[in-house]
Structure 1
Amino acid sequence: MPYSLPEIIVLFFTYSFIGWLWETCYCSIKDHHFAYRGFLFGPYCPVYGFAVTTILITTYPFQNNIFLLFVVGFIVASIFEYVASWLLEKLFHMKLWDYSHLKGNIQGRVAPQISFFWGIGVVLLVKFVQPFIQRIINWEESWTHGMLALIIVLVMGTDTILSVISVEKFHITTQQWDERAAAYRKKLLDRLEKAAPKDKLAIKDRLQDWQRHFAQYLNKEGAGKQLSWNHRRLIKSFPKMKMTDSKYFNNYKNDLKSK
């Protein structure tokens, strides 16, 4: 093993933070508003931490061969992205990214264009970034003797538990809203069936845009404001987020007042 356990933990945290910083800056610029990225409450994206630490360990024998470094990085990073997407969908019924519009994608979870840049990123990481990070970690280890690693485990472990509880509550809320959305639509259909001919045109117009009207109805109730900070953050920072078992929520979520 090229790294000790405390080193692996600190590397995991460091690259989780760097990944969060990169995604937050990039998406904030792209979306023209501050996008607090990441699944957890804290400023870190564990998928980057897991991916990079695994890459550093698996590519260690190939660090002097740029081609093999690229290939291994391409493969390992793609596997991690696929597994992370699959777990989010199966455990939390969420999709935070979707590459279905890119050629050669696999179930929208990974795409060769994205993985290609992952491979280049791994080469740059191993050759230029990691040597600098490793010097800092070596200095930190000489001072804390593993205490920082213990603190990281406690903080991120607690954060993970709280985040899972929060996302599960969000999932329950979206399903409750979906039930109300279905009832709202059925009510409009019933009104259309019983309406006088002169009123049917107005009801039909409302039916065509019923999901936006339903979002407005929720906003009048203050439903959007009743969401926790983390729930509003997820809606705002992940505009392409989808709940895989909510039939209507994905269509009206962006009309909720999530600020």
Structure 2
Amino acid sequence: MPYSISEIIVLFFTYSFIGWLWETCYCSIKDHHYDYRGFLFGPYCPVYGFAITTILICTKDVQDNLFLLFVIGFIVATVFEYFASFFLEKVFHMKLWDYSHLWGNVQGRVAPIISLFWGIGVVLLVKFVQPFVQDIINIEERDTHGWLAVGITIVMGLDTVLTMISVERFHTTTKMWDDHINQFIDRVRIKVESRMPEKGKLKVGDWHHSVMQHYDELQPYQLSWNHKRFLKSFPKLKVLDAPKFMEIKKDILKKED
């Protein structure tokens, strides 16, 4: 093993933070408002930490070979991104990103152009960022004897538990919203059809306005700060089994603010 366990933990945290910083800056500029990125509460994106730490371990002996570094970065990062997307969808019924509009994408989870960016990014990180980061970690390891890694493990572990609770509540809340919206639409349909039986079965068209007019009576639960963060910071976020909520999420956010 080219790194000690405590070094791996600190590397994981460092690149999780760097990944969060990159995504937050890039997406905030792109979306013209502040985006607090990351799935967890804290300022870190574990998918970056997992991917880059794995790449550093796998490429320890070939880091002078830029082509191999690029290829390994391309493959490892793509695999991690695919399975992170798969995990979020199957466990939490959520999609935080969707590359369906990009050429060559696989189920909207990964795409060649994104993987190309990963490969180039890995080369730049390993050649220019990692030497500086490693110097800092060496000093930290000497001074703290691995206790920083213990602290990181505790903090990120607690964060993961709290985030899973929050996401489960988010899923429950959006499902309740969807159920309430469907019930409201059915009530409107029955009411209109009872007054105009000669028209036959009513096709409900633009229900968005009517739902928002009855926002107060429909609202099952208020969205928490973290739930609003998800919706604001991940414009392509989808709760797969709450499609009606997803259609009017922007209007709901305006009411909630």
Query: What corresponds to 2:206 in structure 1?
Result: 209
Q: What TM-score do you get using the length of structure 1 for normalisation?
A: 0.92
Give the SS at the match of 2:3: coil
Give the SS at the match of 2:214: helix
Query: What corresponds to 1:194 in structure 2?
Result: 194
Q: Is 1:21 equivalent to 2:17 in the alignment? A: no
Aligned-partner Cα distance in 1 for 2:243–2:218: 22
Q: Is 1:246 equivalent to 2:242 in the alignment? A: yes
Please, which runs of 5 or more residues in structure 2 have no aligned partner? Answer: none
Q: What TM-score do you get using the length of structure 2 for normalisation?
A: 0.93
Q: How many Å apart are 1:216 and its aligned residue? A: 4.6
Q: Which moved more, 1:80-89 or 1:19-28?
A: 19-28
Aligned-partner Cα distance in 1 for 2:213–2:2: 56
Give the SS at the match of 1:208: coil
AA partner of residue 165 (structure 1): I
Deviations 1:49-100 (A, max 9, x none): 1111011111222211111111111000000000000000011000000000
Query: What corresponds to 2:58 in structure 1?
Result: 58
AA partner of residue 121 (structure 2): G
**Deviating runs (4+, > 3 A) in structure 1?**
220-225
Q: Is the 8 A contact 1:212 1:255 kept in 2?
A: no
CA separation of 1:230/1:172 partners in 2, compared to 1, >3 Å: closer, same or farther? Answer: same
Query: What corresponds to 1:77 in structure 2?
Result: 77
Please, which runs of 5 or more residues in structure 1 have no aligned partner? Answer: none
Q: How many Å apart are 1:248 and its aligned residue? A: 1.5
Q: Write the mapping of 1:17-166 to structure 2, written as runs, cut at 5 A.
A: 17-166=17-166
CA separation of 1:222/1:188 partners in 2, compared to 1, >3 Å: closer, same or farther? Answer: closer
CA RMSD of superposed structures (Å)? 1.9
Give the SS at the match of 2:104: coil
Q: Is the 8 A contact 1:13 1:152 kept in 2?
A: yes
Q: Percent identity?
A: 65
Aligned-partner Cα distance in 1 for 2:76–2:245: 34
Q: Is the 8 A contact 2:40 2:163 kept in 1?
A: yes
Query: What corresponds to 1:3 in structure 2?
Result: 3
Q: How many Å apart are 1:144 and its aligned residue? A: 0.4
